[in-house]
Copies of this chain bind each other. A is one copy, B any other.
Amino acid sequence: MRVGELSRRSGVSVATIKYYLREGLLPAGERTGPNQAAYDDGHLRRLRMIRALIDVGGLSVVATRDVLAAVDDPDLPLFQALGRASGTTTTAPDAAEEQDEAWNEGERMLAEQVDERGWQVSAENPAWATAVGVLATYVRLGDADLARQLGLYMRTMEEVARHEVAAVVDRGDRARTVEGVVVGTVLGDTLLAAVRRLAQQHCSLRLLGETPPDPEG
A164 to B80: give the CA distance in the assembly, Å. Answer: 30
Interface residues on chain A, number (Cβ under 8 Å): 92
Copies in the complex: 2
Q: List 13 A-B contacts (CB under 8 A).
A: A52-B137, A119-B198, A121-B198, A130-B190, A130-B194, A134-B190, A135-B191, A149-B164, A152-B160, A153-B160, A153-B195, A157-B199, A158-B199
| A187 CB contacts on chain B under 8 angstroms | 134, 137-138, 146
Closest to A114 in B: B198
| A150 CB contacts on chain B under 8 angstroms | 191, 195
Contact with B along A195-217 (1 / 0, CB 8 A): 11111111111111011110100
| A134 CB contacts on chain B under 8 angstroms | 56, 187-188, 190-191, 194
Contact of A78 with B208 in the complex, beta carbons under 8 Å = yes
